[in-house]
Chains A and B, each alone.
Chain A
Amino acid sequence: MSDTPLIELRNLTKHFTLSSGLFGRGKVVLRAVDGVDLTINRGETLGLVGESGCGKSTLARTLIRLFQPTSGEMRFDGTDIAELDERQLAPFRRRMQMIFQDPYASLNGRMTVRDLVAEPLEIAGIGDAASRRARVDELLARVGLNPDHATRFPHEFSGGQRQRIGIARAIALNPELVICDEPISALDVSIQAQVVNMLEDLQDEFGLTYLFITHDLSMVRHISDRIGVMYLGKIVELAPNEALYRAPAHPYTQALLASIPVADPTARRDVVPMRGEIPTAIDIASGCRFRTRCPFATDLCTSAEPPLRELDGGHFAACHYADRVMARQMEVA
């Protein structure tokens, strides 16, 4: 196995230009992804968390080139795919697949399960009808569906089963990277664990690399090796998962983790709710983008944007006071 990371993003941006005003003459720029540096290693699960509007889904969609990046580098196994045209992109598309939140919305309701799972194989021109049929049966068995499910339609399945169909489609072409965009958010608690365990098994079996996007901070800790925290288009903290939960170094991460409702009525609750609302990615504050909600913000935070810097062993944070935040020595401003 080569040492080249599977994914390397360098200052990746994706901006959307929106019209504003009554006649749409004004233009505003939504900085959905606003300078992301990120490496994903082979075989790891990188969790990406953040609240709505932080850009995590846009980042994923840009990565598989559903969106054309505005600027920056996007290396897949060493090759920059940011500027490739469709034909050049085709071999890479096969190597990265996506699992969506709502499998019902992403499955064509008029196709049988067999056709749905065979579709990626057909598009890629793999095998003949008979071998594809055998491959579909194998995939269905692998995700825990029966062969007699193959002739049914998506509406005949529960949410968990539909997600299994979505997973079978995603792994049909033996991809290296699977982007899981909120894959369990729409599922019931008892079903979530089934799907998470299956994703873990598939990773072990096929050596998959996962980018796991979620707002569920409990599940992301369970499944990830490393976790990136996004806020308004930027990664503000990146760390091995235990380091992140044990010693969060960005005030936003601290607030986020403290907000998780814990399924233990005896747990201490001395959380001060974070003030304010999430701003939009249209008017991003100068300096540190979190300063408008940060309890520790100083003048420095207004004038200078803190870079994402390494604190120790793979633990990065974009805060001028990260060391003191991590040691919980900051005074509320």
Chain B
Amino acid sequence: MSVLLSVDDLRTSFFTSRGEVQAVRGVSFELRPGEILGIVGESGSGKSITCMSLLGLLKANGKVIGGSARFEGRDLLQLDERDLRKLRGDQIGMIFQDPMTSLNPTLTVGEQVMETILRHRRISRAEARKRAIELFELVRIPSAAKRLRSYPHEFSGGMRQRVMIAMALSCDPKLLIADEPTTALDVTIQRQILALLKELQSRLGMAVILITHDLGVIAETADRVLVMYGGMVMEEAPVRRIFAWPSHPYTRGLLASIPNLRDGTHQRLTPIPGSPPDMRRPPEGCPFAPRCPNAMAQCVSALPPIYEVEAGHGSRCWLHHAQAPRVGGINEAVPA
């Protein structure tokens, strides 16, 4: 099967007055055309920094220090700022958590959408305007032509996110990177935006990387899931599999931490003890070992590789080693 984006051993650090923060420590994954890849993880897991590294949007003190990211035959990590600018908003669209910070408050949204189109396409202003109206209709902003003349503050949070989506889609991207696109929205509006994203994705056939901390959003939207922790991918699997048969103790811990909506009983939650690692001094072994209920001596001293527990299902845990002790649910026989 063809691959749209292939990330290999991406490493990104931030150089701060208090030392080097190793935000991304060797992330690899592939994305196929038309696929929705969910990246789930908690704050500091490296999920957003992974995507910012691909887009060349790291803050000044951040630096990609290794790896490659092949997109359409080119390594994104080797492109200069000029080429990256050409790519962003054209072949790769982006939307972020807070649309207000990504929009210019002094320009009408119409001017901003048209500007994006004109930057990438050699067409007249009239044609760009026509395209902008089409896009507003596509994302279902009512009275599209009229709303082009509005300023960002005149829109609600949900409508602003629709504007951002329209802008991201303006040049028919092959890849859309959506970083917590519904986190700041109310639940009924989140529902509208997720439905819109899914519909547009299947209609336009683009691939999507959806970054979120919300396992519910992942379950409803993604085809395949990466679970990140401590700057690394801990588990990777098709979405049904990750919920039905989580194989990494961290993924299992995350799922046990959230209340089960279908189960009415007041079952006590099972939290993950402790807190995430300090990425200035990441643990030598498995980053999750200090909080892991199944940790062994080996886990503290050496980083486990990713074991393929099933075709397309990988898990970075020593328990998958042939000589590891048997632990219920993690390394016992896995149903296909």
Which of A194, A219, A266 is B273 in contact with, Cβ under 8 Å? A194
Number of interface residues of A (CB under 8 A): 43
Stretch at the interface among B24-32, B48-56, B261-269, B297-305: B261-269
- A245 within 8 A of partner (CB): yes
Stretch at the interface among B67-75, B115-123, B250-258: B250-258
Which of A160, A189, A221, A267 is B219 in contact with, Cβ under 8 Å? A267
Taking A245-B261, A262-B262, A263-B219 as known contacts, 5 extra A-B pairs with beta carbons closer than 8 A to each other, sorted by chain A number, are A188-B276, A260-B216, A265-B219, A273-B191, A274-B191
Which of B191, B217, B220, B271 is A190 in contact with, Cβ under 8 Å? B271
Residue of A nearest to B264 (CB): A242
A263 and B257 in contact, given A190-B42, A193-B270, A215-B187 (Cβ under 8 angstroms): no
> Smallest CB–CB gap between A120 and chain B, Å?
26
Contact B257 A193 (CB under 8 A): yes
Residues of A136-187 contacting chain B, CB below 8 A: 158-161
> Smallest CB–CB gap between A48 and chain B, Å?
15
Residues of B170-216 contacting chain A, CB below 8 A: 186-192, 194-195, 213-216
> Smallest CB–CB gap between A20 and chain B, Å?
15
A273 and B254 in contact, given A191-B271, A197-B268, A261-B219 (Cβ under 8 angstroms): no
Q: Which residues of chain A are near B42, meaning CB under 8 Å?
A: 188-190
Contact B192 A189 (CB under 8 A): no
- B58 within 8 A of partner (CB): no
Contact B187 A263 (CB under 8 A): no
- A217 within 8 A of partner (CB): yes
> Smallest CB–CB gap between A62 and chain B, Å?
22
- A19 within 8 A of partner (CB): no
- B84 within 8 A of partner (CB): no
The contact sample of 23 A-B pairs, CB cut-off 8 A, is A158-B275, A160-B275, A192-B257, A192-B258, A193-B257, A193-B258, A193-B269, A193-B272, A194-B271, A215-B187, A217-B187, A219-B259, A222-B269, A261-B190, A261-B216, A261-B220, A262-B216, A263-B255, A264-B243, A265-B219, A266-B243, A273-B192, A278-B156
Residue of A nearest to B261 (CB): A218
- B43 within 8 A of partner (CB): yes
- A285 within 8 A of partner (CB): no
Bound Cα distance A256, B190 (Å) = 11
Contact A221 B269 (CB under 8 A): no
- B130 within 8 A of partner (CB): no
Q: Which residues of chain B are near A215, meaning CB under 8 Å?
A: 186-187
A256 and B187 in contact, given A193-B272, A277-B159 (Cβ under 8 angstroms): yes
Bound Cα distance A273, B254 (Å) = 28
- B149 within 8 A of partner (CB): no
Most B CB contacts (10 A, CB to CB) among A190, A267, A274 go to A190
Q: Which residues of chain B are near A271, meaning CB under 8 Å?
A: 191
Bound Cα distance A159, B44 (Å) = 12
Contact with A along B294-318 (1 / 0, CB 8 A): 0000000000000000000000000
Residue of B nearest to A160 (CB): B275
- B86 within 8 A of partner (CB): no
Contact A264 B219 (CB under 8 A): yes
Contact B220 A265 (CB under 8 A): yes
- B64 within 8 A of partner (CB): no
Residue of A nearest to B198 (CB): A269
> Smallest CB–CB gap between A274 and chain B, Å?
5
Q: Which residues of chain B are near A200, meaning CB under 8 Å?
A: 268
Contact A255 B240 (CB under 8 A): no
Bound Cα distance A271, B190 (Å) = 13
Contact B266 A261 (CB under 8 A): no
Bound Cα distance A258, B188 (Å) = 9
> Smallest CB–CB gap between A43 and chain B, Å?
15
Contact B254 A189 (CB under 8 A): yes
Q: Which residues of chain A are near B256, meaning CB under 8 Å?
A: 193
> Smallest CB–CB gap between A214 and chain B, Å?
11
Most A CB contacts (10 A, CB to CB) among B256, B257, B261 go to B261
Bound Cα distance A280, B217 (Å) = 27
Residue of A nearest to B42 (CB): A188
Q: Which residues of chain B are near A189, meaning CB under 8 Å?
A: 42, 213, 215, 254, 257-258
> Smallest CB–CB gap between A10 and chain B, Å?
29
Q: Which residues of chain A are near B262, meaning CB under 8 Å?
A: 262, 264, 267
Bound Cα distance A219, B216 (Å) = 13
- A259 within 8 A of partner (CB): yes
Residues of B123-166 contacting chain A, CB below 8 A: 156, 158-159
Contact B243 A196 (CB under 8 A): no
Most B CB contacts (10 A, CB to CB) among A189, A197, A262 go to A189
- B37 within 8 A of partner (CB): no
Contact A196 B269 (CB under 8 A): yes
